Amino acid sequence: MPFTLEDELKRLGGRYAKGPDGASFTLVDGHLITGQNPASSFAAATQLVSMLQERAGSPATLESPAAPLVAARAT
């Protein structure tokens, strides 16, 4: 491969961040929430729930991975 995605993004002036391989790593930029890999799913979902609850004016709580799905179906 002539270049890596990381190198090309940096060359074009983009911001690139990463966490340890295989670990949970998420970033929030405005309304964009990204996760590095499947291990980041729960952290990204938690950030999404927090963002939605802040907009709704209620406290953000998340007790289990199933909680966002239950809350989303109930509303």
The domain spans of the chain are: 22-74
The candidate with the shortest Cα–Cα distance to 56, out of 72, 34, 33, 32, is: 72
Instruction: Tell me the pTM.
Output: 0.64
CA separation for the pair 63, 66 (Å, rounded): 8
* HSE-CB for 1 with a 13 A CA cutoff: 6
pLDDT of residue 20: 93
Q: State yes or no: pLDDT of 58 exceeds 80.
A: no
Q: What is the pLDDT of residues 27-49, one digit of tens each?
A: 999 899 999 999 999 999 999 99
Residue percentage of the chain with pLDDT more than 90: 53
